[in-house]
Homo-oligomer: A and B are copies of this chain.
Amino acid sequence: MEGIKVVTIGGGSSYTPELVEGFINRYEELPIRELWLVDIPEGKEKLETVGALARRMVEKAGVSIEIHLSYNREEALEQADFVTTQIRVGLLEARALDECIPLNYNVIGQETNGPGGLFKGLRTIPVILDICRDMERLCPNAWLINFSNPAGMVTEAVLRYSPITKTVGLCNVPIGMKMGVAEMIGVDAERIFIDFAGLNHMVYGTDVYLDGVRITDQVIDKLSNGIGLTMKNIVDLGWEPEFIRALGILPCPYHRYYYQTSKMLEAELAEMNDTGTRAEAVKQLERELLELYKDPDLATKPPQLEERGGAYYSDAACSLISSIYNDKGDIQPVNTRNNGTIKGLPDDSAVEVNCVITKNGPKPIQVGELPVAVRGLVQQIKSFERVAGEAAVTGNYNKALLAMTINPLVPSDSIAKQLIDDMLEAHQDYLPQFDHPASVRKG
């Protein structure tokens, strides 16, 4: 059949209109025939609201993309060309717990590479691996584009524990950094190019170019003069100028959690006392967005959606899909198999690096050694991600505790144990691979 079939697992997400807009804008080069929005029955109301908006958007744009809503993943996956995942196992309630429980122990939750990220990973990885098993049967030639967080850990789990090799993990942090640099120096974003290297939410800009001319030092200079480069969902506390100059490369906003742990913890504790966790703020925002989406006169993506931390995500996804489909050979930063691109990390680990995007997927541009000063932190997060992945697929309590203890945000093995025990209990419905914690803890 002519045209492309895209399946979006977690299609009821409030981000979906951005995705739809991206597909509409690229319709000429990326002729999507069917877009399947798949969700779980519990998300029926959201899926129908989002789906109805998607249909109005498509109609208004005058493109012939069929929007299908489905609660049956297998039916949807059949013969798919691209599968995107934007799932949130346990919904925002689970995320709130991921953030709150650690804060109870004066530990930052950090929902990707921190303690909260461990739990998000333990909940998400088995579901993604289930999807992979379905794909193997129903659409073995499809590409899996994952933007469910923690995207690095999830991509690595797919690479190591599933037969699906056509997979890419996506993140909006690099594009956000590019936008940030462009704004900082007052130029159009397309004139900026950044060499990215690292891991998901732990990526560095190792060089910055304006029209191809290296401007890294000027950007570092601005950063060290207090001019920020941050994201909607991460507070900007500024950097010590001499530190950022000695670092010599661009940290991503998430690096604040590691280089400014105590300050970020204070800020998070204060925010929780003031206004609740970030998850709660996001919940409120979601409610408002969905209310907007219900307006039968709305047939475009509402601008409020861009206020969220996830801005640019869906655009990055559409852009990636189009580059694969069209064998564009342009360069995009994605999560992919390392294979020696960054020295010292395992070949089969996921890394976030600039890649040439082709019909055969991303081909990473060689990085070599990371600067010595950042090699340790990157390796430590990779250690954490790998052990976390092993815990996710085995349901082994000790492995989970090991992952938690070696996380750089966790201050001791005993606090790690308390976090694990509290969280295993809180999330037990979403962690069937683990024994019930009560019995485990005696074991």
A376 near B380: Cβ-Cβ < 8 Å: yes
The smallest beta-carbon distance between A241 and chain B, in angstroms, is 9
Contacting A246 at CB < 8 Å: which of B363, B374, B375, B401? B401
Given A246-B401, A379-B376, A380-B379, answer yes or no on A412-B260 (Cβ-Cβ < 8 Å): yes
A415 near B383: Cβ-Cβ < 8 Å: no
Q: Which residues of A contact B (CB under 8 A)?
A: 193, 207, 209, 211-214, 239-240, 242-243, 245-247, 259-263, 327, 329-331, 339-341, 343-344, 346-347, 356, 358-360, 363-369, 372-377, 379-384, 386-387, 396-399, 401-403, 405-406, 408, 411-417
A339 near B366: Cβ-Cβ < 8 Å: yes
A356 near B376: Cβ-Cβ < 8 Å: no
B380 near A262: Cβ-Cβ < 8 Å: no
Q: Which residues of B contact A368 (CB under 8 A)?
A: 339-340, 347
A259 near B340: Cβ-Cβ < 8 Å: no
A408 near B411: Cβ-Cβ < 8 Å: no
Residue of B whose beta carbon sits closest to that of A363: B365
A-B contact pairs, 24 of them (CB 8 A): A207-B360, A209-B359, A212-B327, A213-B359, A240-B416, A243-B416, A245-B398, A259-B405, A260-B413, A263-B412, A341-B366, A363-B365, A363-B366, A364-B366, A365-B366, A372-B387, A373-B383, A373-B403, A374-B406, A376-B381, A376-B384, A379-B380, A380-B380, A408-B408
Rounded to whole angstroms, the CA-CA distance of A443 and B170 in the bound complex is 41
A401 near B360: Cβ-Cβ < 8 Å: no
Q: Which residues of B contact A365 (CB under 8 A)?
A: 356, 363-366
Given A356-B365, A365-B356, A379-B376, answer yes or no on A329-B330 (Cβ-Cβ < 8 Å): yes
B243 near A413: Cβ-Cβ < 8 Å: yes
B373 near A376: Cβ-Cβ < 8 Å: no
A415 near B262: Cβ-Cβ < 8 Å: yes
Rounded to whole angstroms, the CA-CA distance of A239 and B245 in the bound complex is 39
Residue of B whose beta carbon sits closest to that of A195: B363
A246 near B399: Cβ-Cβ < 8 Å: yes
A329 near B327: Cβ-Cβ < 8 Å: no
Q: Which residues of B contact A363 (CB under 8 A)?
A: 365-366
Given A327-B212, A359-B212, A405-B259, answer yes or no on A344-B379 (Cβ-Cβ < 8 Å): yes
Residue of B whose beta carbon sits closest to that of A261: B411
Q: Which residues of B contact A372 (CB under 8 A)?
A: 346, 383, 386-387
Q: Which residues of B contact A415 (CB under 8 A)?
A: 262
B406 near A377: Cβ-Cβ < 8 Å: yes
Rounded to whole angstroms, the CA-CA distance of A246 and B386 in the bound complex is 14
Rounded to whole angstroms, the CA-CA distance of A344 and B342 in the bound complex is 11
A-B residue pairs, 5 tightest by C-beta: A376-B380, A212-B327, A212-B359, A376-B383, A246-B398
Given A261-B411, A327-B211, A398-B243, answer yes or no on A376-B416 (Cβ-Cβ < 8 Å): no
B366 near A398: Cβ-Cβ < 8 Å: no
Contacting A376 at CB < 8 Å: which of B366, B382, B417? B382
B412 near A246: Cβ-Cβ < 8 Å: no
Q: Which residues of B contact A373 (CB under 8 A)?
A: 383, 387, 402-403, 406
Q: Which residues of B contact A364 (CB under 8 A)?
A: 365-366
Rounded to whole angstroms, the CA-CA distance of A82 and B414 in the bound complex is 46
The smallest beta-carbon distance between A353 and chain B, in angstroms, is 9
Q: Which residues of B contact A408 (CB under 8 A)?
A: 380, 408
Q: Which residues of B contact A262 (CB under 8 A)?
A: 411-412, 415
Rounded to whole angstroms, the CA-CA distance of A194 and B372 in the bound complex is 30
Q: Which residues of B contact A246 (CB under 8 A)?
A: 396, 398-399, 401-402
